Amino acid sequence: MNKTVFTDPWLLDEFSRFTKLKSIQKDETLMEPGDIIHFVPMVEKGVLRVVRKNEDNQEIFLYHLYPGQTCAMALNCCQSQKKSVVKIIAEENTEIRLIPISLVEDWFKFPEWKAYLNQTYSHRFTELLEVIDLIAFNHMDKQVLHYLQERAKAIQSSTLIITHQQIADELHTRREAISRLLRTMEQKNMLKLGRNTIELNA
């Protein structure tokens, strides 16, 4: 357990005794919508990508989870005893700490844990508002650029190995529209297109 997140020795002891470490490979799906939630994931190493998926399998990117972070959506679902409403994918080879849902509320007795959850909800709420703003108030080019920048930040590289169809799926639009937009963005020197690659310009 990363001791930079928590310092309470009693909480750290419970982490070591009751949680499990799990490794997942790049592009592996950790959770799907409709899954019964038995645990809450907390990233130890690597990055997870969280997307919303509807009944027609259309997806939209929500946010990333970095080391020391957990998923507010999963927390909300387990506390309200609902099934998962998001899909969680490994952006790269990732290690996560599996926290049993029975401990989420039990650990409220630890002030650090309670503060951590409050901070998680606050941070994710802000990120979700940014997503809503991008969808509601900005042109598609800003949505695409934001999405690409977030994916690049997650892998710490300006070059993304990604197809136009993948972008279209997670931004809930058509591949043709994404392809046209990316070509326009390339003409504006915002990025460089390759075969299933996109290189962002600084």
Measured between alpha carbons, how far is residue 24 from residues 30, 39, 46, 97 in Å?
8, 15, 10, 11
More confident residue, 186 or 79: 186
Tell me: pLDDT of 47 over 70: yes
Provide the pLDDT confidence category of residue 2 given band limits of 50, 70 and 90. low
- Tens-place pLDDT, residues 79-112: 777 888 899 999 999 999 999 999 999 999 999 9
Of 59, 117, 47, 126, whose CA–CA distance to 86 is shortest? 59
Question: How far is 103 from 94, CA to CA, in rounded Å?
Answer: 23
- Identify the pLDDT of residue 138: 56
- Identify the pLDDT of residue 106: 93
Tell me: pLDDT of 113 over 90: yes
Please report the domains of the chain, with CATH numbers, ordered by start residue. 9-136 (2.60.120.10), 139-200 (1.10.10.10)
The model's pTM is 0.72
**Mean pLDDT, residues 125-147:** 76
Question: How far is 25 from 65, CA to CA, in rounded Å?
Answer: 15
More confident residue, 202 or 68: 68
Tell me: pLDDT of 129 over 80: no
Least confident of 54-63, 116-125, 149-158: 54-63
Percent of the chain residues past pLDDT 70, beyond the cut: 92
More confident residue, 110 or 143: 110
Tell me: pLDDT of 198 over 90: yes
> SS3 for the chain, per residue?
CCCCCCCCHHHHHHHHHHCEEEEECCCCEEECCCCCCCEEEEEEECCEEEEEECCCCCEEEEEEECCCCECHHHHHHHHCCCCCCEEEEECCCEEEEEEEHHHHHHHHHCHHHHHHHHHHHHHHHHHHHHHHHHHHHCCHHHHHHHHHHHHHHHHCCCEEECCHHHHHHHECCCHHHHHHHHHHHHHCCCEEEECCEEEECC
How far out from the chain centre does Cα 164 lie? 20
Question: How far is 175 from 169, CA to CA, in rounded Å?
Answer: 8
Residue pair 69/119 in contact by the 8 Å Cβ criterion:
no
Mean pLDDT estimate for the chain:
88
**Mean pLDDT, residues 135-139:** 61
**Mean pLDDT, residues 138-149:** 85
